[in-house]
Structure 1
């Protein structure tokens, strides 16, 4: 379970950072830009993914997980 949380957390952090890089530099990276759902709210989606990823990584590092 710990490994799964680490993998999901890493992917969420990576996609959140890629979303923010896309918004500020117009590089074509990340999954959020390909989704039609957060249209106009891509920055919020990127920040939310970053926070979610950091939280998942923190839970994976807690002594009680897995």
Structure 2
């Protein structure tokens, strides 16, 4: 369970950071999913921040789950 949470947290964090970098610099256009969604048009920066924060939260939760 811990490894699954860690993988999910890293993926969310990378998608969030990659989405922010894509919005600000134009890089990482191949593997970020936020800018590909038509439903998030105009809200890509906010969605990327939410993904990055969610990734950090899942990583923290995976560490706490390992201690129990």
Q: TM-score, normalised by structure 1?
A: 0.91
CA distance in 2, matches of 1:25, 1:58: 29
Tell me, which stretches of 5 or more residues in structure 2 are unaligned?
none
Report whether the alignment pairs 1:11 with 2:11: yes
Task: Give 1:35 shift.
Answer: 1.0
Q: TM-score, normalised by structure 2?
A: 0.88
Aligned to 1:20: 20
CA distance in 1, matches of 2:57, 2:13: 10
* Moved >3 Å (runs of 4+): none
Query: 3-state DSSP class of the match of 1:49?
Result: helix
Would you say how many aligned residue pairs link Structure 1 and Structure 2? Answer: 64
What's the RMSD between the two structures over aligned residues?
Answer: 0.9
Aligned to 1:31: 33
Report whether the alignment pairs 1:47 with 2:46: no
Tell me, which stretches of 5 or more residues in structure 1 are unaligned?
none
CA deviation map 1:7-53 (0-9, x unaligned): 00000000000100010011224111111111100000000000000
